[in-house]
Structure 1
Amino acid sequence: MKKGQLRQLVLSLGVGIAVFLVLALGLRWNFLFSAALGVGIYLGLWFLLTPRADPITLYFAQRPDGGEMQALMEEAERDLKAIRSAAGRITDVRTHEDALALTETGDRLYCYLREHPEKIPSANRFLTYYLDTVGRILGQYVKFQDAGLGTSEVREFQRKVRAILPKLKTGFEEQLSQLMASERFDAEADMKVMESLLNTEGFQWEANQNGSV
């Protein structure tokens, strides 16, 4: 039994027994009623303290490739932490802000995938390549910065990093937009139906008004 389950058992059983003892021995309530109430409280606490399964974990468990998908998301989370850490250490104000903006966009994309795990395969390149590469680039940028290197090669590398960060942010936003495309199409379809209904109702209202004149 895991430690969490053991604590859950001890707490639930302890409270159930305490309630039984207080009622049966302290208050002199009916023995069977006190026992039934104690058992009921034990079972209730057990279910209340049972951790709820994460929906994304349940989704992975139902798929033959769920283990691979879960590994991708875990790796992506580590990459995002590395990107966030590197962005926070950049001293150049503009580069720092651009790196943080990129991180925020990456976080939004990651959170969307957690809420819609069925779209993880569509973001495979984002998860397996872009996040890892951005993390390594920003990590190298910080290493050069902390080392105080000012050679022409290092300055050129830093210039390229500054130039590419806004482009990467745009790329992340386009990836998120593509993932949400089906939802946008559904919303647009709903708006067209609503517009059609409103036009129909407006036409009927005008016809009724004209008939009453």
Structure 2
Amino acid sequence: MRNICGLLALILGIGGIYCLTNDYGAAGLLMLVGMGASIYRGQLPQKVVRKLDVSQLADAQADSALEDWEKARLDYERVETARRKIRDSQLSQQLGLMQQEAARLLNYVEKHPERIAAANRFIHYYQDRAANLSEQYMELEDTKLETGQVRQVKAQLKETLVSFDEAYSAEFTKIINNQLLDMEAELTVMKQSLEAEGISNNRQEMSGEPVELNAHSGPPATGIGRKKRPRRGAVTKVGRQGLEPVPEKMPVPDNLRNSVLMQKLIMSGLAIALGTLGAHKFYQGKTKWGVAYIVLCWTLIPTFVSIIEGIRYFFMPVDDFYEQYYR
């Protein structure tokens, strides 16, 4: 929706300027008003309701699953809202990695609603705490206080949130391992049924080696449960000056790449075509900067600056744009 509003604002803005320069003043003003309305609409929170299919669950289990799903979804949105507002780039980047892990887990639960009970600790403890701590950090930033106590609390919040990425992954691994155990039990029963009917595994008899499934013998073939390598862009250690980031950039999640690319092109177009009026700043949610561009538009300084910004957006790598500007 945000990209659609941005594209509509770009079209209306260009059309409005064209009308104003060709003696269609009323139509031009109307289009510019429409441009502003489109940008404003794009800044409103997007409520995407994802429903959990519980038709295969018992009534009591279905009610509990729906409650857990609603809480998980709302807490995910709370963390995402805080991530976008937090000004600390290191923490915002780390929260982005956490959100990717949470999205993987929630996508899995959405496809396997019968597994939501196994995600109880993730939903009611880890994600709930992550949402609360993220909001607390955001509130401390909003106070703009830099006392020793405030800095100490912010550092503690930051350090705690860093560990949640691994906790998210560990919970997801437990859920998958539980499924593997269920699959192992089901296959064992099936094997016994086949043997009872006189059907045997000829390949097993020929090789003389038993074929076993053991979820405890090592990590599954999917790689889940292996010792994790440090994540790209993750904050990995705490030094005297606080958390030290690794230099790599946070990659764009595959499911967001097209959206990020579209937003990059829209921002580039707004900056080049309508940057004099600060359209790209309003689109980013930087209202004060947008007003400053309008106030100074008669100097043509915003025009030159916005053209440079638009070219920069256009040629900026998608991963860099995602980390710095995507909202």
- Offset at residue 67 of structure 1 (A): 0.9
The residue aligned with 1:59 is 56
RMSD: 2.8
Match of 1:179 in 2: 175
Q: 1:184 offset after TM fit, Å?
A: 4.7
Shift of residue 182, structure 1, vs aligned partner: 4.1
Contact 1:113 1:120 in 2 (8 A): yes
Which amino acid is 1:129 matched to? Y
Residue 92 of structure 1 is matched in structure 2 by 88
Q: Show CA shifts across 1:64-92 (max 9, x none).
A: 23112201111110010000110111111
Distance 1:148 1:55 in 2: 41
* Cα separation, 2, equivalents of 1:85 and 1:116: 27
2-side partners of 1:165 and 1:59: how far apart? 36
Q: Point out 4+ residue stretches in structure 1 off by more than 6 angstroms.
A: none
2:180 and 2:66 mapped to 1: Cα distance?
A: 26
Contact 2:52–2:69 (CA under 8 A) maintained in structure 1: no
Alpha-carbon distance in structure 2 between the residues aligned to 1:197 and 1:87: 54
Bigger helix fraction: 1
- Give the letter for the 2:54 counterpart: T
Gaps of 5+ in 1: 1-53, 191-195, 202-213
Q: Percent identity?
A: 20
Matched positions, count: 143
Give the TM-score taking structure 1 as reference length. 0.58
Give the greater-gyration-radius structure (CA).
1
CA distance in 1, matches of 2:140, 2:52: 42
- 1:143 paired with 2:149, answer no
CA shift in 2, pair 1:88/1:197, >3 Å: farther
Between the aligned partners of 2:88 and 2:52, the Cα distance in structure 1 is 40
Contact preservation (8 Å) 1:86, 1:138 = yes
Give the distance between the partners of 2:144 and 2:87, measured in 1 at CA. Answer: 12
Aligned amino acid, residue 162 of structure 2: P
Q: Determine if the alignment matches structure 1 residue 164 to structure 2 residue 160.
A: yes
Matches of 2:73 and 2:141, distance apart in 1: 25
Cα gap change, 1:72 to 1:165, in 2 (>3 Å): same
Q: 1:172/1:82 Cα in 2 relative to 1: closer, same or farther (>3 Å)?
A: same
Secondary structure of 2:60's counterpart equals: coil
Corresponding letter in the other structure for 1:99: L
Asked if 1:70 corresponds to 2:66, the answer is yes
